[in-house]
Amino acid sequence: MGEAYGWVPEGVDITVPDASRVYDYALGGVHNFAVDREFWHRAESAFPGAAAAARANRAFLGRAVRWVAAQGVRQFLDIGSGIPTLGNVHEVAQEANPDARVMYVDIDPIAVQQSRSLLEGNPYAQVIEADLRDPETILNHPDVLRLLDFSEPVAILTVAVLHFVPDSAGPAAIMKRLGDALVSGSYLVVSHAGPDATPEGRALQEQVRKLYERTPTPLTIRDADEVAALIGSDFEIVPPGVTPATGWHPDPDEAGEPPQPTALAAVARKR
């Protein structure tokens, strides 16, 4: 099957929906398959707010990178970066500072391959294949250590990925290990699936969660207090705190967007 798609790495199972490909399709990307599109349509049918939440997550990512870059940070470690699409982190960061360095990390071979193709010729932006649940491999990877200097501030991005780490995998310990690698003045940028504001919405959202149980990456929904707990006490969450992504420093043309309580977001500074 892989021979029918020149951009599919050998060994990738395209008969099972994949979170990064589903997200790619939700954002209008083309690196996805019928199984991913079918899954997304079922999720959107069950929970009509899903598309707006996906867009809110992506818009938050761009605003957060610009904001962190404005604080003087020029190094970014984007874990769970997904398949390249409009407004990639290196594009935003290097527009603010041409010397900005960006390391992408993803578990999906397709995301990694497409990122390598996009980044060819850009010495300050690279990608590795690794798993958020194995932070030691990420932090000690030779490519990461060549590109990023952890004696200076680094922004670690975990956008729309922590909700695929179940409590049994110890997400708080994972985030603590990542945070321990950072010096004071570094940042965490986080977004996470949160509960809908209404009982009716939460019932619909539960249907989506059950859909994800049939994939390799089940969905765990956490509220704002639980997201703050994942960030941990070594970090100070900057205003406005853990908030719907649409409410985190919206651009003027985004200020009227309806709140998206199912897309929680926060930026935190290492004390």
Which domains, ranges and CATH numbers included, belong to the chain? Answer: 2-270 (3.40.50.150)
C-beta of residue 157 within 8 angstroms of C-beta of residue 77: yes
pLDDT given at position 1: 38
Query: How far apart are the C-alpha atoms of 73 and 84, rounded to whole Å?
Result: 22
Torsion sign (Cα): 206, 26, 223, 161: positive
pLDDT at residue number 258: 80
The rounded distance, in Å, linking the Cα atoms of 201 and 199 is 5
Q: How wide is the angle at C-alpha 46 spanned by C-alphas 14 and 55, nearest 5°?
A: 70
**Residue-wise pLDDT tens digits, 16-59:** 999 999 999 999 998 899 999 999 999 999 999 999 999 999 99
Q: How far apart are CA 129 and CA 155, in angstroms?
A: 19
pLDDT at 6: 56
Q: Which whole-number Å values give the CA distances from 223 to 160, 193, 202, 229, in the listed order?
A: 14, 8, 12, 10
Helices (H) and strands (E) in the chain, counts: 10, 8
Separation of CA 106 from chain center = 10
pLDDT at residue 86 in the model = 77
> How much is the pLDDT for 229?
98
What's the average pLDDT block by block, 10 residues per block, for the chain (271 residues)?
Answer: 56 86 93 93 94 93 97 98 90 96 95 92 96 98 98 98 97 98 98 95 94 93 98 98 96 79 96 97
Distance of CA 145 to the CA centre of its chain: 21
Please name every residue paired with 98 in a beta bridge, in sequence order, or none if there are none: none
What pLDDT is attached to residue 13? 82
Distance in angstroms (rounded) separating the CA atoms of residues 235 and 271 = 5
Instruction: Output the pTM of the full model.
Output: 0.93
pLDDT at 58: 94
Q: How far is CA 196 from CA 5, 203, 217, 230, in A?
A: 38, 9, 20, 20
Q: Which helix (H) or strand (E) holds 44?
A: helix 34-46
pLDDT at 8: 72
